[in-house]
Amino acid sequence: DSGVTQTPKHLITATGQRVTLRCSPRSGDLSVYWYQQSLDQGLQFLIQYYNGEERAKGNILERFSAQQFPDLHSELNLSSLELGDSALYFCASSVAGPDTQYFGPGTRLTVL
Amino acid sequence: KNQVEQSPQSLIILEGKNCTLQCNYTVSPFSNLRWYKQDTGRGPVSLTIMTFSENTKSNGRYTATLDADTKQSSLHITASQLSDSASYICVVSSSYSSASKIIFGSGTRLSIRP
């Protein structure tokens, strides 16, 4: 158990819909990272937040957005969902920088 | 262009045998290199992390090496076990402060056969 929690574990929705994925980092970690992993693909870095502020951006679509709240939990919002958005979405946390990231169990999103 | 390339893409070995996975990178400036193990459908778990000045690090049966001059790293697994079947991901970071550039390799899928 990494100490990072993600909810929900599984999510099934339809094209065009909007969903919110939630992540709670390890106690004491200020940075949260979001990743997308499509079937048989590598991890794609989406975005990083540090202490409530956006710190780095990767290959995140405009239809996706994220935020980190004062209690340091983070949410990833996916809108206008497409079939190709079906993937595992991982959240990771670290104390500050990316030196050691601890990954959550992931949320499996299926868009039908 | 910042890249991390891993080889082989996949590997099948018999239980008890050793194997070595490779990682070449062009990320600059270099901050650290990590190897992760990812079981199917699970989140990656960190195995080792090495900075510029470290050239080897062990974690049980896993030993990672780093040659910062040639920008190459390897992960050696000794006396493989069935539970070693997983994807192994090499990740290179270029970090200035808390801002970060994180480049993931596409992973090596390792299968251990009994």
**3-state class of B72 per DSSP?**
strand
pLDDT computed for residue B96 by the predictor: 58
In the structure, what pLDDT confidence band is assigned to residue A2 with cuts at 50, 70 and 90?
Answer: confident
Q: Is B69 left (phi over 0), alpha (psi -120 to 50) or beta?
A: alpha
**3-state class of B60 per DSSP?**
coil
The minimum CA-CA distance between A94 and chain B, rounded to whole Å, is 10
pLDDT in tens, A49-73: 999 999 888 889 999 999 999 999 9
**3-state class of B62 per DSSP?**
strand
Pairing, β A107-111 against β B72-77 = unpaired
The minimum CA-CA distance between A1 and chain B, rounded to whole Å, is 10
The Cβ of residue A83 has, within 10 Å, a number of other Cβ atoms equal to 10
pLDDT computed for residue B98 by the predictor: 47
Cβ atoms of residues A38 and A86 within 8 Å? yes
pLDDT, mean over chain A:
93
Of A2, A42, A99, nearest to B104 by CB-CB distance is: A42
Test mutation, A40, A101, A108, chain B, max B CBs within 10 A: A101
Which residues of chain B form beta strands (DSSP E)? 4-7, 10-14, 19-25, 32-38, 45-51, 56-59, 62-67, 72-77, 86-95, 100-104, 108-113
pLDDT in tens, A15-42: 999 999 999 999 999 999 999 998 877 8
Residue B54, chain A, CB below 8 Å: the answer is: no
pLDDT computed for residue B30 by the predictor: 87
The arithmetic mean of pLDDT across residues A1-10, rounded, is 94
Pull the structure tokens for residue B101: 């550039």
Low-confidence ranges of chain B (pLDDT < 50): 98
